Amino acid sequence: MKSWSSGSRNTLQMQATALMEAKRRGMNPAAIRRQRHQAKVQQTEVKQTAVKIPLIDLELRGAGKRLYDTIEPEMMLSGPAECMAGETLILDPITGMETPIAELAHRGKPITVLTLDGPRHADSPFLKGVAPLFRVRVEGGKSFLATRRHRVLTTQGWTFVGDLDPGDCVPPVFSAGHRVLDVTYERTDAFYDMTVPDGAHYFAQGFWHHNTGKTFSSLVKLHNLAATYPRSQWLVLRDTQQSVYSTVVKSFEGKILPMMGGQGISKYGGNKPEWFDYANGARIWIGGLDNVAKILSGEFDGIYVNQAEETTLNDWESLTTRVTGRAGNVPYPHIWGDCNPGASTHWIIKRRDEGKLRFLESRHEDNPRLYGPDGTITNEGIRTLATLDRLSGVRLQRLRFGRWVAAEGVIYEGLDRNVHIIKPLEMPKTWRRFRSIDLGFVNPTVCQWWAMDEDGRMFCYREIYKSQTLMRDHADEINRLTAGVPLNVWRDLSAESKRERVKDGEKIEATVCDHDASDRATLQDGGIYTIAAEKDVKTGIEAVQARLKRQADGRPRLFYFDNCLVEPDQLLIDQGLPYSTVQEYDSYIWQKASDGKAAKEEPTKLNDHGMDTTRYATKYGDKRKFKYG
């Protein structure tokens, strides 16, 4: 005898009721069901429209305010990130110990900080960039060092370091406060930041510090739009989905949601949410350009791209096709991003110059402390700009004038992200395939997989770029990826089965490797036999430069797939360091000669692990003409 679930019985009852009503009204039963469904949808929409989700009412200034007020189809908020010098001491309220923020960033672990609400957990501090640092001295001998746009708590509220005046009162801990004596430029150096999810501020070097910026302005805009327009659909993303979790999502959950007190917002997906639902039916989707197929299948009322300088023109233009107005829930669909200044040849600048992108820059003239309402410079403005005017080169152009200029002495000026970074393509089995490896542990180990077509074009189609990992674990992962076996399957295979899978996998003709004997021996124990890379730097750079140039057919001879990175290294992301070879190109520069100009003889040995690996591969690819088998 067949049994029926309660759901099945309810369905039959509904169908029977619809049939009886249809006979009574002389209508088709299916039409009756459609009417009921539409009525239910309308009731839901009325309820959602009636929901009032609180807006965030903050005073945004300068470019942040213009971003909030502007409704043009494409917008970009440009400006440097700001925070504190590496030697700044962070207080642990549990142990009472003070540790330099640079050392905490190196450890790469979450910490405990003191906030006005007591001890709170904070994410690992990270290196954020290089900028002019200013010493703030107060009565009693205390001082701290930070960027101009870093904010500290005064008796007048949160104030930018660059806006502090002598006599302003800065409260240390819970006492009445000390008066500022002066704010002076000290040096240009690395600076660090951290995120305090439950508080957005912390105690350091005897003062209260805040941690907000361009991302915060964009998230305020994103939230208020979602709260204002019922059923609206929004997308926030970055170059990879993993990186958006560690930055934007962390800021959204740590800064925006606490302001709402949890009212009317829920998330789906646990620690790595896929979206945030609003009680009015709006939804904020979370995405990454490494999963672009999922993104391009939807229609959105607006898209926010974090760290847009990391994306390509093709990425941006593809995203614009998703905000055409077909979603239909807002009066002005649009896409916007935030970014840090880069080279003048960047696609963002070209699109601005073509009139397709509204470009919003933080300028000194926006600051009422530096310029009066009539445009007259103030005494504070004279002192501040005189300090910035003493900078030189790219720092002067970016920090004083806010211009997008290339770093001095960039080695690979021929790299064009719109040409050399491409979507994956089908690679015939007849193409040569080889690997190149640069060894490391504290610094990342980089392993690149290369394919070469019949015309000698090289394609980097896969890359491991990972720090703090033992070489035997790298060997196992290299074998797994070469074999093409999912991780959950690989883990259960015996050593013999793994060897058989590798044998049946990609045909790798050679693995060229850095020269460390111990690590090469470990790779060999794992079944990866290597040959020593040609490490002559000068000829290697020349070989890469030659391949970056367009040839007679209009195409260069070196490419990277835009999805070649296997997995972002969260430790590197948290430290603000490159986590792929492509990210190294803009900062790979020549050492300076005694006159301060690029000597063009030796590269600066900093964050060049992918550059070395590409050089090894290029020298091998140029020299070895045979094919596998």
Instruction: State pLDDT tens for residues 299-347.
Output: 999 999 988 887 888 889 999 999 999 989 999 899 999 886 666 668 8
Q: In terms of Cα–Cα distance, which of 436, 523, 512, 515 is closest to 474?
A: 523
- Asked if pLDDT for residue 157 goes beyond 90, the answer is no
pLDDT tens per residue across span 515-531: 999 999 999 999 999 99
Which residue has tokens 């469904």? 37
pLDDT tens per residue across span 63-77: 656 776 777 899 888
Q: Are 358 and 335 in contact (CB under 8 A)?
A: no
Identify the pLDDT of residue 8.
43
- What domains does the chain contain, in order, with CATH numbers? 6-50 (no CATH), 62-78+215-361 (3.40.50.300), 84-212 (2.170.16.10), 364-400 (no CATH), 417-623 (3.30.420.280)
What are the two backbone dihedrals, phi and then psi, of residue 157, each rounded to the nearest 5 degrees?
A: 110, -170
- Residue 426 DSSP SS3: coil
Mean pLDDT of the chain: 78
- What mean pLDDT do residues 352-367 have? 72
* Angle, in degrees to the nearest 10, between helices 214-228 and 62-69: 20
d(CA 561, CA 589): 23
Burial 227-239 (b: 16+ CB within 10 A, else e): bebbbbbbbbbbb
Q: Which residue has the higher pLDDT, 326 or 127?
A: 326
pTM as predicted: 0.51
Identify the pLDDT of residue 247.
74
Q: Which residue has the higher pLDDT, 222 or 594?
A: 222
Q: Are 629 and 507 in contact (CB under 8 A)?
A: yes
Q: One-letter amino acid identity for 455?
A: D
d(CA 354, CA 351): 5
Strand partners, 132: 188
d(CA 622, CA 121): 52
Identify the pLDDT of residue 620.
95
Q: What is the 3-state secondary structure (H, E, C) of 264-290?
A: CEEEECCCCCCEEEECCCCEEEEEEHH
For residue 29, count other CB atoms closer than 10 A to its CB.
16
For the ranges 24-33, 141-150, 455-464, the one whose mean pLDDT is highest: 455-464
Q: In terms of Cα–Cα distance, which of 105, 160, 95 is closest to 129?
A: 105
Secondary structure letter of residue 599 according to DSSP: E
Quick one: pLDDT band at residue 46, thresholds 50, 70, 90? Answer: very low
Q: In terms of Cα–Cα distance, which of 134, 121, 86 is closest to 202?
A: 121
Query: Could you give the strand order of the β-sheet that contains 151-154, starting from the edge strand earlier in sequence?
Result: 98-100, 89-91, 201-204, 207-210, 151-154, 157-160
- Residue 594, C-beta contacts closer than 8 angstroms, at least 6 positions apart: none
Q: Which residue has the higher pLDDT, 170 or 444?
A: 444
d(CA 480, CA 490): 7
Q: In terms of Cα–Cα distance, which of 322, 308, 321, 395 is closest to 352?
A: 308
pLDDT tens per residue across span 225-284: 999 999 999 999 988 887 788 778 877 887 677 766 667 889 998 888 999 999 999 999
- Asked if pLDDT for residue 149 goes beyond 70, the answer is no
Q: How far is CA 459 from the centre of its chain?
A: 24
Q: In terms of Cα–Cα distance, which of 191, 169, 189, 171 is closest to 180?
A: 169
Quick one: pLDDT band at residue 94, thresholds 50, 70, 90? Answer: confident
- Asked if pLDDT for residue 393 goes beyond 60, the answer is no
Q: Are 344 and 405 in contact (CB under 8 A)?
A: yes
Identify the pLDDT of residue 489.
94
d(CA 270, CA 117): 26
pLDDT tens per residue across span 171-205: 654 444 578 888 888 877 777 777 675 555 677 87
- What mean pLDDT do residues 471-494 have? 94
